[in-house]
């Protein structure tokens, strides 16, 4: 009989931070490569609004790195 592990033991709240952080980083890389970023009012194109585009990309990268860094702090940081 094959027993499946309990998913709640693998997906605790800190791992959600990692998943969300990596997702945001993927969005930042995709926006950098394609030149299209999703902002509050819809898509922002690098050719049309370069300043707003690069601010958005910067915030995506910063947010992704922050979530991954916070996850690493919670799992391997000074608290343990």
Per-residue model confidence as pLDDT tens digits over 35-67: 999 888 899 999 999 999 999 999 999 999 999
| Residue at 6 is within a domain | no
| Residue at 5 is within a domain | no
b/e 69-79 (16+ beta carbons within 10 angstroms → b): eebeebeeeee
User: 4-7 — which CB contacts under 8 Å span 24+ positions?
Assistant: none
What's the pTM value of the predicted model, to 2 decimals? Answer: 0.76
| Residue at 55 is within a domain | yes
What integer is the mean pLDDT of 59-78? 89
| Residue at 32 is within a domain | yes
**Do 63 and 24 form a contact (C-beta atoms < 8 A)?**
yes
**Do 67 and 41 form a contact (C-beta atoms < 8 A)?**
no
pLDDT for residue 11 is more than 70: no
Non-local (6+) Cβ contacts of 66 within 8 A are 21
| Residue at 2 is within a domain | no
Q: Print the domain residue range for 20.
A: 13-76
Number of domains in the chain: 1
The pLDDT assigned to 7 comes to: 52
């Amino acid at each position: 009989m094959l027993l499946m592990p309990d998913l709640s033991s693998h997906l605790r709240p800190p791992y959600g931070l990692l998943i969300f952080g990596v997702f945001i980083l993927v969005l930042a890389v995709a926006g950098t490569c394609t030149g299209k970023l999703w902002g509050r009012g819809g898509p922002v194109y690098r050719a049309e609004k370069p300043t707003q585009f690069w601010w958005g990309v910067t915030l995506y990268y910063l947010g992704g790195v922050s979530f991954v860094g916070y996850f690493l702090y919670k799992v391997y940081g000074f608290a343990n």
